[in-house]
A = this chain, B = another copy of it.
Amino acid sequence: MSNSCRTPASTWCRLGESSWGLWEPQDGHFEYAWMDRVIARMHQAGIKVILGTPTYSVPAWMWKEHPEIFITRFGGQTVTFGYRQNTDLANPTYRRYCERVIRKILEHYKDNPAIIGYQIDNETSSGRAANPDVQAGFVTYLQNKFKTIDELNRVWGLNYWGQRLNEWSEIPPQQGILNPGWKVEWERYQQWLTTDFLSWQAKIVSDYKRPDQFITHDLAGPPRSEVNEHDISSSVDIVAVNPYHGTQDQFDGNGSSLQGDYTRSLKQTSYLVTETNTQTIGWDSKGQFPPYDGQLRLDVYTHLSSGANMVEYWHWHSIHYGQETYWKGVLSHDLEPGRAYAEVSRTAHELQKIGPEIVDLKRSSKVAILYSNDSYYGIEFMKFSDRANYRSVMQQLYNTLYRANVSTDFVFPDSPGLAKYSVIVVPPLYVASDELLLRLVEYVRGGGNLLLTFKSGFTNEYDTVRWTMAPGPLREAAGFHYQEFSSLAQPLALKDDPFRAGTDNAVSEWAEFLIPDTAQPLAYYDHPFFGRYPAITRNHFGKGTLTYEGTVLSDKLQEQIVSGVLQAAGLSGPDQKLPLPVRVKHGVNRSGKTVHYFLNYSSAPQAFPYAYGAGSDLLTGAAIAPQQQIMLKPWDLAIMEEN
């Protein structure tokens, strides 16, 4: 039984998600009494229940009767009982069992007044299943997408190495495949398995759901390459996320904020935090770092300021046996109140008071990051570096914006409405259709400021390199072309340290041999051979600008480039003048009032002037005037609501 509750001022809790063996101890024999009792007690205490479908952890009898529903990976490795998320989501027997247990449970509880919503499964992914039915499904998926085997031969270039296929039945198991086009399609299909499974569950739950109830699914640590969160989100009423975060000296709100910004962007509205850490996490020593005083509370406000409408913990009390013994809860194993309990209690009581002022916060961002999961895979298949990759560049760009206190959305390759952003930041957009690239060109032409990074535009949507001069359709907007590129064996300096980065004046890993057509070089490599090529360029195109990074920048250099793009877009202001450890976030609440969060991610007190309109401090009730000094204690915060 899962039991993550916001407590002791708890109003919601999650129940039931990994308890199939209790619901159905024998094949076809169902029991509810154990849960009836729990829900009744919750209802009595005024705690609302999110009920989970129990499908991600199957009972032992199912392993005994149907070992074939468990995941088989490439090379024949099988995932066995003892793990969770160990089933082939496409297996019809598994689906049949899932449907029966879900319908039984929902039939039993559909009128229960304590239940306010349903969570389908938990942190679902396809687990890289390569079972025979998955392989068969992949062939069907390919037939639907490519229609003829000759089209597949053409798109994947299978004449190469003599691998052309003569008919659909010849498609071999994917395990030895090195062809990147083939591999990227397999990854899309794996993602689709999860999307399809959750959408199928959501439809079953919809047969029972009351109008006052919602369906959610809790995502694990997005962006997560093996699932397509954007597609999944269309199957649920509200998206939930389980953002585990660093603590002690590793806590700066960055991870929680990135996951929050990403999750909020999926449906462009508020979201739920269904799990986050209290005391410690992990199976072993990796996460045994209980938070310093104040960090638990500060993390809750980090989520709320990002647009969360709820924060639940995994979990209420620490478990005495099993895999997650050291994934400690609000209470330690002794079940007595302690330091974590006290801090959670304080926070919950604050929220009882100020909740209505901060719930349903509307965030508005002028900057977006274009996230391309296909590009992540395309680059992984043909790495340009052992140290840097799609994820590391994306993370560096997000961190740079986060540290600059710039509110950031995420957009996706098929997101409409790019023009509403002043700046779009693009991690290596390695896999992209002509259509997407042309939309970016139009974005710039129309006045947008695009910050584009190396490898963008190199391959099309099938991970096939373009036949035209790089960067393909982006060439005119980018104002340069290139034919060559090189790994960098050692970091290089930029000539004459144009951004005054001092010891951080370093680029590394990769260098494209950019030949400007109309672009202005912003920096050159300091090297006898590479020095003939610019490292960074900017092109004015239409009403906008396109800034391009042909190499991997140091954090300091990235900060300078991003800052320059933001300034050019008119996005600088007082938020960029706060002390380093202070983050600010803004939003509009249900009353239409503007709310400002000021959060101190450090063990030192921080002071700075308040740069917004007169209002009041929601936590203390004190009035706040423009330019008045705000004092924040270590790991503390202030929430100002403008009048």
Q: Does A255 reach chain B (CB closer than 8 Å)?
A: no
Q: Does A414 contact B (CB under 8 A)?
A: no
Q: Which residues of B contact A386 (CB under 8 A)?
A: 285
Cα distance A466–B489 when bound, in Å? 47
The interface stretch among A19-27, A201-209, A363-371, A405-413 is A19-27
Q: Are B383 and A285 in contact (CB-based, < 8 A)?
A: yes
Cβ–Cβ contact A176 & B79, under 8 A: yes
Q: How far is the CA of A158 from the CA of B323 in the complex (A)?
A: 10
A464-B249 contact, Cβ under 8 Å, with A158-B21, A166-B25: no
Enumerate A12-38 residues with CB–CB distance to B below 8 Å. 18-23, 25-26
Q: A156: which B residues are within 8 A, CB to CB?
A: 321-322
Tell whether A589 is near chain B: CB-to-CB under 8 Å.
no
Task: Report the bound CA distance from A88 to B178 in whole Å.
Answer: 20
When distances are taken between beta carbons in the complex, the residues of chain B under 8 Å from A526 are: none
Measured in the bound complex, the distance between the Cα atoms of B176 and A57 in whole Å is 13
Interface residues of A in 112-170 (CB under 8 A from B): 155-166, 169-170
Closest to A532 in B: B293
Find A179's partner among B64, B164, B173, B323 (CB 8 Å cutoff).
B323
Q: Does A54 contact B (CB under 8 A)?
A: yes
A571 is an interface residue with CB less than 8 A from chain B: no
Distance in Å from the Cβ of A542 to the closest Cβ of chain B? 25
- CB contacts (< 8 Å) of A385 on chain B: these are 285
Query: A166 and B489: CB pair below 8 A?
Result: no
| Chain B proximity of A609: nearest CB distance (Å) | 28
Q: How far is the CB of A345 from chain B (nearest CB, A)?
A: 15
Query: How far is A182 from B578 in the complex, measured between Cα atoms in Å?
Result: 53
Distance in angstroms from A242 CB to nearest chain B CB is 16
Given A21-B164, A157-B320, verify A338-B484 contact (CB < 8 Å).
yes
Is A176 a contact of B82 with CB atoms below 8 Å? yes
Contact in complex: B172, A64 (CB < 8 Å): yes
Give Cα A642 to B349, complex, Å.
Answer: 78
* Residues of A69-118 contacting chain B, CB below 8 A: 75, 77, 79-84, 86
Closest B residue to A16 by beta carbon equals B162
Q: Which residues of A (438-466) have their CB < 8 Å from a CB of B?
A: 462-466
Min CB distance A605 to B, Å, is 13
Decide: A180 and B467 in contact? CB cutoff 8 A. Answer: no
User: Secondary structure of the A side of the interface?
Assistant: loop
Selected from B58, B169, B170, B175, the residue in CB contact (under 8 A) with A82 is: B175
Question: Cβ of B82 and Cβ of A334 under 8 Å apart?
Answer: no
- Within 8 Å of chain B (Cβ to Cβ): is A248? yes
For residue A323, give the distance in angstroms from its CB to the closest CB of chain B.
4
User: A57's contact among B162, B288, B320, B326, by CB below 8 Å, is which?
Assistant: B162
A386 CA to B170 CA, complexed, in Å:
45
Provide a sorted-by-A list of 23 A–B residue pairs whose CB atoms are within 8 angstroms.
Answer: A25-B166, A60-B163, A60-B164, A64-B169, A64-B172, A81-B172, A82-B175, A156-B321, A157-B319, A160-B321, A178-B283, A180-B321, A180-B323, A284-B383, A284-B384, A285-B386, A288-B487, A288-B510, A293-B529, A320-B466, A332-B483, A338-B483, A340-B484
- 4 tightest Cβ-Cβ pairs between the two chains A and B: A82-B176, A157-B321, A80-B176, A21-B162
14 more contacts with CB within 8 A, not counting A18-B162, A83-B178, are A21-B158, A22-B159, A59-B166, A60-B165, A80-B172, A81-B173, A84-B161, A157-B322, A178-B322, A181-B322, A285-B487, A288-B486, A318-B465, A338-B483
Q: Which residues of A contact B (CB under 8 A)?
A: 1, 18-23, 25-26, 54, 57-61, 63-64, 75, 77, 79-84, 86, 155-166, 169-181, 248-250, 279-280, 283-285, 288-290, 292-293, 318-326, 332-336, 338-340, 382-386, 462-470, 483-487, 489, 509-510, 528-529, 603
